[in-house]
Structure 1
Amino acid sequence: MSEAEGIRLQKVLANAGVASRRVSEQLIVEGRVRVNGVIVSELGARIDPENDLVDVDGTAVQLDATKRYVMLNKPTGVVSTMKDERGRADLRRFAEEWEERLYNVGRLDADTSGLLVLTNDGELAHVLAHPRFGVTKVYIAKVEGRVTAQTIARLTRGIELDDGPIAADRARLLDASSGSSLVELTLHSGRNRIVRRMLAEVGHPVAELVRRQFGPLHLGTLPVGRTRELTKVERGALLTLSRREPDAPPAEGVETPESEEQETS
């Protein structure tokens, strides 16, 4: 490390955009800043921004400015890979909008639209995509037929599929009219095409499916086919999530098949 074995913590916080240096000093004195999980309340403390983990009020602070986090509202008809060997529409054109070499976190199948994260942070991508971490995803499905309250209860109570039982974390009926229904499902399972299979099993095949939420991220008003960089608050929420199990093995690559809706042939 340079600068006499580290950089003053308040300077690191200010450089990261947390607050001005004076306000950062106040945060430290008030005991609201932790370094590697330990509260640091002395203004003379120095850290190594390249290796130390910092959080303020329990929310992680991004110190590595080389990491990029982007939200995409994936259109239907696009496969979740950066280079499709079969020549189908893929994610390259969305990633090319950014200087960094980005990859998708998990996958949505070609017929599913909605929230995908593109990033060059492999460690965070592993946490978000791997089902063992239980990151929840929220989907809205337009299904055939009129869904009843009994069917919603069945989805949360649990149903049996070919590869074992499954239950939604939450389920809501948003609308039931004109021979179709809108259903909101929240799950953390990483099984293949699980949303479509669950709804088909209860007699309501999916006509349209969109992922509206991925962990702490909400799609909001982002138009289909558009990207945007995550806000500082969103980045902090993702990094906080990624530090829940620091001993988890890193992924070999950012792109992984573990997700709610895997790309299938």
Structure 2
Amino acid sequence: MSDNSSAPPTGVRLQKVLAAAGVASRRVCEQYIAEGRVSVNGAVVTVPGTRINPHVDRVAVNGSAVQLDTTKRYIMLNKPRGIVSSMRDEQGRPDLSRFTAHMEERLFNVGRLDVETSGLLILTNDGEIAHVLAHPSFGVAKTYVAKVRGAVEPRTLTALKSGITLDDGPISVDAVRVLDAHGSTSTLVELTIHSGRNRIVRRMMAAVGHPVVDLVRRSFGPLHLGTLRSGEMRELSKDELGGILTIARNAHVTGEIASKEYDAGTTATSPRTAPDTKEESR
């Protein structure tokens, strides 16, 4: 964003950029700017007509980040059981390509769910978002609903919150509660965890004596599966997109770093080519 008034005008008017990004009409965007609800690179802008570089500058409205690049796509998928979290499975098993074959953009999945785990999976062509949401170091919380064997007692919930030790070290959940119990046969448990370790929910529940029978990821960061049915997908809403963009920007991850890890979905850590033995129910 340039503040040199003597230089020839460069960039694009802020209200025009916001309108093109789908925030609101140009007139309404001008009102947002005048009311101090818009910031550019962290600084509030109150002068309509301020010019920015939409390829470089980062804009937020009411504190929520706005994606100015309209070529980026963000899809929420309710992955069914039996689908491999890969865009191309070398063993010929059902994979995510069946959901993206009709799309012009080359999308890839953010993180993974193992074959027998269903639920919320994000598909995108935005490497920066993918890097932040999927990388364990950023600790994005995920919530799962697990049907487990046996009756889960309060002391077991306490142990999960206090922490247990697995082969790869100590681990604890952020939150856990019983949703439903079926006598001594099975229990429906909701767990929230930010760890990205391999099959962590299944391993934790097995360690406390309650193997998982069925596992569904219900939320991923600020995103919630809601009523989206198994096998269905939809575009993220503006509020949902703003939520994950805000996480990415707060994490201070540059597009250059992200693109190195997710370049065309061909790197060793890419969900497009990673071995299925490393699939995770994060």
Which SS does the other structure have where 1:150 is aligned?
Answer: helix
Which residue in the other structure is 1:239 paired with?
A: 245
Which SS does the other structure have where 2:165 is aligned?
Answer: strand
Q: Which moved more, 1:203-212 or 1:87-96?
A: 87-96
Task: Note the aligned Cα RMSD (angstroms).
Answer: 1.9
In structure 1, runs of 5+ residues without a counterpart are none
Which residue in the other structure is 1:18 paired with?
A: 23
Deviations 1:150-185 (A, max 9, x none): 111111110010100000000011111141000000
Structure 2 counterpart of 1:137, which letter? Answer: K
In structure 2, C-alpha distance between the alignment counterparts of 1:18 and 1:26, rounded to whole Å: 12
Alignment of 1:1-40 (within 5 A): 4-40=9-45
| TM-score, normalization by structure 2 | 0.88
- The question of whether the paired residues in 1 share the 8 Å contact of 2:108 and 2:124 is answered with yes
Which residue in the other structure is 2:73 paired with?
A: 68
Which residue in the other structure is 1:95 paired with?
A: 100
Deviations 1:23-65 (A, max 9, x none): 2122112221111111111123101112211001110111101
Which residue in the other structure is 1:228 paired with?
A: 234
Which SS does the other structure have where 2:189 is aligned?
Answer: strand
Structure 2 counterpart of 1:155, which letter? Answer: L
Q: Which moved more, 1:230-239 or 1:244-253?
A: 244-253
The answer to whether 1:263 aligns with 2:268 is no
Deviations 1:45-87 (A, max 9, x none): 1011122110011101111010000011111111111111111
Which residue in the other structure is 1:252 paired with?
A: 261
In structure 2, C-alpha distance between the alignment counterparts of 1:20 and 1:111, rounded to whole Å: 45
Deviations 1:186-238 (A, max 9, x none): 00001110000000011000000000001111111111111111111111111
Which residue in the other structure is 1:148 paired with?
A: 153
In structure 2, C-alpha distance between the alignment counterparts of 1:70 and 1:139, rounded to whole Å: 19
Which SS does the other structure have where 2:179 is aligned?
Answer: strand
In structure 2, C-alpha distance between the alignment counterparts of 1:97 and 1:213, rounded to whole Å: 26
Question: Which consecutive aligned stretches of 4+ in structure 1 deviate over 6 angstroms post-superposition?
Answer: none
- The question of whether the paired residues in 2 share the 8 Å contact of 1:108 and 1:262 is answered with no
In structure 2, C-alpha distance between the alignment counterparts of 1:173 and 1:132, rounded to whole Å: 28
Deviation for aligned residue 1:247: 4.1
Q: Which moved more, 1:114-123 or 1:23-32?
A: 23-32
Structure 2 counterpart of 1:75, which letter? Answer: P
Structure 2 counterpart of 1:263, which letter? Answer: E
Number of residue equivalences: 261
Which SS does the other structure have where 1:118 is aligned?
Answer: strand
Alpha carbons of structure 1 residues 17 and 93: separation in structure 2 relative to 1, 3 Å: same
In structure 2, C-alpha distance between the alignment counterparts of 1:169 and 1:262, rounded to whole Å: 24
- The question of whether the paired residues in 1 share the 8 Å contact of 2:76 and 2:235 is answered with yes
- The question of whether the paired residues in 2 share the 8 Å contact of 1:95 and 1:103 is answered with no
Identity of aligned residues (%): 62
Which SS does the other structure have where 2:54 is aligned?
Answer: coil
- The question of whether the paired residues in 2 share the 8 Å contact of 1:107 and 1:262 is answered with no
